[in-house]
Structures are given as structure tokens and as C-alpha cells.
Structure 1
Amino acid sequence: EAMAMERPVVATSAAAAALTARPGIDLEVADDAAAFAAKVLAVMDPAAGDRMGQRARARILADYAWASRFARLDELIARGETPRPAPTPASTSPGPEAAAVSAR
């Protein structure tokens, strides 16, 4: 959300792994306290923070906005592909077979 609002972001590598954002371009990545603090100080520079925020918003719009998501869906449909349904979770309750066995 911060990236969509043109705000510079500093994240851990675990958090950034789920994004298409490019470290050092669209956001900063740091995993230890000293590096994280240094990255935060770097993006607090108004010019640097503004540039990163603008690139971050552009990345979010390109990869996550409704228009880009629908364009990807249109591509899948044009190729005859359909999204795979989510797997059905295994049942934790006994099925009808268990009731039949216990009734005997």
C-alpha cells in the first residue's frame, strides 16, 4: 500500500520476496538492524525518497492494478488456459462410511 501511495519502502528480504519490486530501484531491502536503519536514512532524503516512491507506484500499477490483472486474465483465456481451482481441503469429520460401520 505504501508503494501504491508513492512512498519509499524499506523491507526485509522475506517481505520483498512476494513482490515484483526490484531492490534498490522500487524499494530497499535489508535484513539486519544496522542495514535497515541505513536504508531508512537513505530514503529519508527527499529527492531519493521521491524518486523511489515514483518508481514504486509505477511498479505497482504495472503489476498489480486491476487493468494489468485483467490483461493477464485475457492472455490466459486467449491461450485457452483457465486458472486452476484451489484444492479441496481434506475432511476432518468421518464420512458416511464411518456412520454405516458404527451402526453395525
Structure 2
Amino acid sequence: DPQTPVQRLTLRLTRFYTASPCQKVWTRLQQVMKKFSYDVRISPDKVSLVVSTTDKRSQPLVFKASIYGLRSDLLLVDFRRSSGDGIEFKKIFKKVRDQCQDIIVKPP
């Protein structure tokens, strides 16, 4: 059973790692969300993007994309569904991840 918050995060399937600078990742995520016409707002703590869209049944789907520094040269980009269909959320995550392939690195 994972003990630390970081250990718990690394078990999630809707995340990826990157060695790119945080600002580059932040900008890329915003560009990808805009490309797919998702509604994006920056969380009050300025560490997450809160993304809203509708699934194929026209139901609201809301998720958060957060960037965590694991080491000086490694970031974890974590996607967490707030509301909406879980299967649709995973499909959207895969679309976003595919648009970020050039900055993704293998997990440690």
C-alpha cells in the first residue's frame, strides 16, 4: 500500500512524466486544450488547469491537470477527473497525451 502522496500519484494511469521545463509543459497543455476546444481555467493555486467539456452524450465532463516536480529534471503531469464519465475521461486523456508525445519520457 503506497504511503506518500507521490507514491499514490505514481500508481495512477492518467498521468505522464516529462523532463521539459515546467513553463513549456504548462503552455503545451493550454495549447492542446484550446486545440480540442475545451474550456480551461487556471486553478486559484495556479498549479492546475481545470478543464471542462461535454462527453459524447452531452453530459458535463470536468477534470484537473496538475504538474508536480519530482526532481529538478523530472515532472509528473497528473490528470484527475472531477465529474463525468470515467471512460470518456480516459479517452480524452489519451488524446491529450498523444499531442504531448514529444515531451513525454519513460517513468523512473
State TM-score, norm by structure 2: 0.30
Higher relative helix content: 1
TM-score (norm 1): 0.30
> Which has a greater percent of strand?
2
Q: Which has the larger radius of gyration?
A: 1
